[in-house]
Amino acid sequence: MISQTEENYLKAIFKVVERGLNPALTNAIAAEMQTTAASVTDMLKRLAEKNLITYEKYRGVQLTEEGNRLTTALVRKHRLWEVFLVEKLHFTWDEVHEFAEQLEHVQGDILVNRLDTFLGYPRFDPHGDPIPDAEGRWLFRPQALLATLQPGDRGVITGVQDHASSFLQYLDQVGIALGIPLELLERFPYDQSVRVRIQDTMEIVLSEKIAQNLFIKIS
Amino acid sequence: MISQTEENYLKAIFKVVERGLNPALTNAIAAEMQTTAASVTDMLKRLAEKNLITYEKYRGVQLTEEGNRLTTALVRKHRLWEVFLVEKLHFTWDEVHEFAEQLEHVQGDILVNRLDTFLGYPRFDPHGDPIPDAEGRWLFRPQALLATLQPGDRGVITGVQDHASSFLQYLDQVGIALGIPLELLERFPYDQSVRVRIQDTMEIVLSEKIAQNLFIKIS
DNA sequence: TTAAAAATTTAGACTTATCTAAAAATATTA
DNA sequence: TAATATTTTTAGATAAGTCTAAATTTTTAA
C-alpha cells in the first residue's frame, strides 16, 4: 500500500524530472511539495525502501520502473478526472486542479477505466496535456511554444505550459482556447512580444511570457 | 479542518444512532469502525474538543448541530457518488460502496452540488436510501419491511436495509430490484418465510432474513 | 446489595509525516 | 586549492491515529 503523501511525492519527482532535472534533487522536490528539505529526505528514504525510487545520498533520485508505473497511473487519473470536471460538470479549466488533486487518490483501476470509457477515451486533458492509456502508454504530439515560432507560421493552439488560474483566465479573456487556429504575424524585438491572428479574424498582441507558455501545433 | 478519519467516525456515530442506539456507545462505534474501544475513546475526545459531538464519559456520545450538519453533507456526498457510479459508470449496486467511501472525502461543496445537478437531483440512491439536499433536508417516504406486511398487501420494492454484496447479488439473481411491484401471497408460520408475486407474474419464496431486509412502499 | 461480568477509559508504546536546528557533504569562487 | 556558500542529511521533537494491557466504572445477576 502507498499513502496519499507518498503518491504526492512521486508526482513531485515526476514533475521535477519532466522539467529537465534528472536525477531530481532534494531542494527541487521540496520546492515542488512546498515543504522542507529535511522532510523530503525522510520521505525519499521511505520511497527508496519501497523500491519506488533509486536514491543516492546527496545525488538525488530517479523513479524505478514500479515508481514510474504508479506515477503514470496517477497522472492518468488526475487528467481523466479533469476531463470529467470540465466536460460533464462544466467547470472551467482554471477551476479543476484542486478537485483533481483529491480525486486522483481514489483507488481502484476499474473505476479509472470505467471513467475513461464514459468520457470516450480522451487522449488530452483540458490543458492539452496527454493522458496515458490503461497500459501506461503516452501519446505525444508535435507542438512548439509560440515563443519559438517564426512570423508566417500558422497552427492550432494545443496546450498550455503554465496551469496558473490567472494565466488561464487571461487566455479566456483574450479569446484563446485549445483548438483555435493561430498565425504569428510579427515579433517585436524590443520585448519579444508577438502579434498574432486568432480564429483567422482577430489580431491581438501577446507578451513574451504568454508566448513562452502557449503550445502550438504547426500546420 | 476535519480529517478523513474524523469524518469516518462521525459517519459511524450517525449509523449507530440511526440503528436506534442513542447516545451511541463506545463499543458500538468500535464495532462499526472495526477498531478497538481504546482508539474510539481517543477519537471521541478529539471530536468533543472540536464540538462535533457531546461526550459524557462512560455514557456515550451524540452529534452536535455542527456534527450533524457535517455528517449529513458526508452522507449526501456518498450517496450522490453512488448514483454516479451506477447510472453513469454502470457499476452494479453491490460494487459501489468502496469507491463511494473514498469519493465522499473529496472536499468542495461546489463539486457535490454540480454533481447533484449533473445527475438530475436524485432523491434516492441505488439502494433506495434518501439523499439529503444541499440544505441538508431529508426526504423520507413511507415504507415497511416485507417481514411486517400481511398476505394480500401489494406495493413496490423501494429499498434494502442490508447493503452486503452477497445479499444484493442474491436479489439480482431472483429478479428483485428497486421499483418492481410485489404482492405478499402467504407467510409460512414454520420459518416465517414468504411467498410473493413479483412483476405481477413470477412467484418466488423468500426467507425471513430476506423479508427482514427488503423495504416495500405499500400501494 | 454485593460480587461478577461487561464496558470503558487510561497509560504507555508505535508509526507516519512533519518541523527546526545543527552537522556534514558538495559546489563555487577567489 | 583553500575558504566560503549552498545543499543535503541527521538529530531530536511534535501531532494524529493506532494498538495492547491494566485500571476503572457501570451494569447485571445472584
The reply to whether the CB atom of residue A35 sits less than 7 A from any atom in nucleic acid chain C is yes
Q: CA(A38)–C1'(D6) in Å?
A: 15
Q: Rounded distance, CA B102 to CA B6, Å?
A: 14
Task: Note the pLDDT tens digit of each residue in A126-148.
Answer: 999 999 999 999 999 999 999 99
Residues 6+ apart with CB under 8 A from A176: A157, A198, A214
pLDDT for residue B105: 97
Q: In this model, does residue A1 exceed pLDDT 90?
A: no
B65 in reach of chain A (CB within 8 A): no
Per the DSSP assignment, residues forming a β-bridge with A187 are A194
For residues A204 and A195, the answer to whether their CB atoms sit within 8 Å is yes
Q: What is the mean pLDDT of residues B144-156?
A: 97
For chain B, where are the alpha helices, taking DSSP H only? 4-18, 26-33, 37-49, 65-87, 97-103, 109-118, 165-174, 208-211
pLDDT-based confidence at residue A158 (cuts at 50, 70, 90): very high
Q: In chain A, what residues touch B107 (CB-CB under 8 Å)?
A: 102
For residues A75 and A105, the answer to whether their CB atoms sit within 8 Å is no
Instruction: Report which of A29, A38, A23, A26 is spatially closest to residue A8, judged by C-alpha positions.
Output: A29
Task: Note the pLDDT tens digit of each residue in A25-70.
Answer: 999 999 999 999 999 999 999 999 999 999 999 999 999 999 999 9
Q: CA(B38)–C1'(C9) in Å?
A: 7
pLDDT for residue A192: 97
What is the average pLDDT value for chain A, to the nearest integer?
Answer: 97
For residues B63 and B10, the answer to whether their CB atoms sit within 8 Å is yes
Q: What is the pTM of this model?
A: 0.95
pLDDT for residue A83: 98
Q: CA(B39)–C1'(D23) in Å?
A: 16
Per the DSSP assignment, residues forming a β-bridge with B155 are B182, B218
The reply to whether the CB atom of residue A22 sits less than 7 A from any atom in nucleic acid chain C is no
Task: Note the pLDDT tens digit of each residue in A185-203.
Answer: 999 999 999 999 999 999 9
Q: Rounded distance, CA A30 to CA A13, Å?
A: 10
pLDDT for residue B1: 86
The reply to whether the CB atom of residue A212 sits less than 7 A from any atom in nucleic acid chain C is no
Instruction: Report which of B111, B128, B107, B131 is spatially closest to residue B217, judged by C-alpha positions.
Output: B128
Residues 6+ apart with CB under 8 A from A112: A73, A76, A77, A80, A134
For residues A101 and A33, the answer to whether their CB atoms sit within 8 Å is no
Joined together, the cell numbers standing for residue B143 give: 415504507
C-beta within 7 A of nucleic chain D, residues 9-48 of A: 25-28, 30, 37-38, 40-42, 44-45
CB-count exposure of residue B125 (10 Å: 0-12, 13-18, 19+): buried
Kindly state the percentage of chain B with pLDDT values over 90.
99
CB atoms within 10 A of CB B98: 12
pLDDT for residue A66: 97
